[in-house]
Amino acid sequence: MSEVDWFPLLLSLRVAAIATLITTVVGVAGAYVLARFTFPGRGLIEAIASLPIVLPPTVLGYYLLVSIGRNSPLGRGYEALFGRQLVFTWQAAVLAAAIASLPYCLRTATAAISAIDAGYEEAARVAGLHGTRLAFLVTLPMAGRGIIAGISLAFARALGDFGTTIMVAGNIPGRTQTMPIAVYDRVQAFDYATAGVLAGVLAGVAIVVLLGVRRLERTAL
């Protein structure tokens, strides 16, 4: 067993942390809108946002690659703005992880917000609360456990993403090689010992997250 290179772990943690931040903002705001407002196209938005759960990650990665590649308007826009391409960078890995993990946060948070008895919000509205004050003082805290559970699931999913990430960020050791990709890479090189250590760390994090989520869902508010 060669010396274990911890770069993939550090990169994965950084990518997953930033991706989870994006997922939290987009997912919780989206969940609030989906749970509390009716508008045309809501079902379609929900379906599209849930696609990452059912699509093979490589297919998701393919669409993402086409959307942000050098020939796409988004890719060209990014290049004009930052002077370098987005694909095959760790930032692209963040985007991949964020999109792959979004539905886990969005769906869990939507369910948690929908489950709140409407009477709490009605009583607060009569008492003068509305808009963001209503959301931040009443709705979101009351759905707090479900939202945290959703964010945790999204983090675990972001940390473990393989297919989408490798499609848009590649497998560049020391630059875009995240943990799951490093596991694959080590196995390809018949370095099962290192692969085992890396796989163990990922599995351990996943179990800790799932136990935490289970606890959140079992404890009443």
Residue 219, classified by CB atoms within 10 Å of its CB into exposed (0-12), middle (13-18) or buried (19+), is: exposed
> Judged by CB under 8 A, does residue 217 bind another protein?
no
Of 70 and 130, the one with the shorter C-beta distance to another protein is 130
**Half-sphere exposure in the Cβ direction for 11 (13 Å, CA):** 26
- Which residues in 138-197 contact another protein (CB under 8 A)? 138, 141-142, 144
Q: Which two tokens stand for residue 69?
A: 């590649």
- Residue from 54, 137, 172, 203 binding another protein (CB under 8 A): 137
> Judged by CB under 8 A, does residue 28 bind another protein?
no
Q: How far is the CB of 139 from another protein (least distance, A)?
A: 10
Of 109 and 169, the one with the shorter C-beta distance to another protein is 109
Cβ count near 59 (within 10 Å): 15
With H, G, I as helix, E, B as strand and everything else as coil, classify residue 176. Answer: coil
- Residue from 73, 126, 132, 219 binding another protein (CB under 8 A): 126
DSSP state of 162: -
**Total of residues contacting another protein (CB under 8 A):** 18
Q: CA 66 to CA 84: how far, in whole Å?
A: 17
Per-residue interface string for the shown chain with another protein, residues 65-104, x marking contact by CB under 8 A = ----------------------------------------
Of 134 and 197, the one with the shorter C-beta distance to another protein is 134
Q: CA 142 to CA 215: how far, in whole Å?
A: 17
Q: CA 44 to CA 50: how far, in whole Å?
A: 10
> What is the binding site for another protein (CB under 8 A)?
117, 119-120, 122-130, 137-138, 141-142, 144, 221
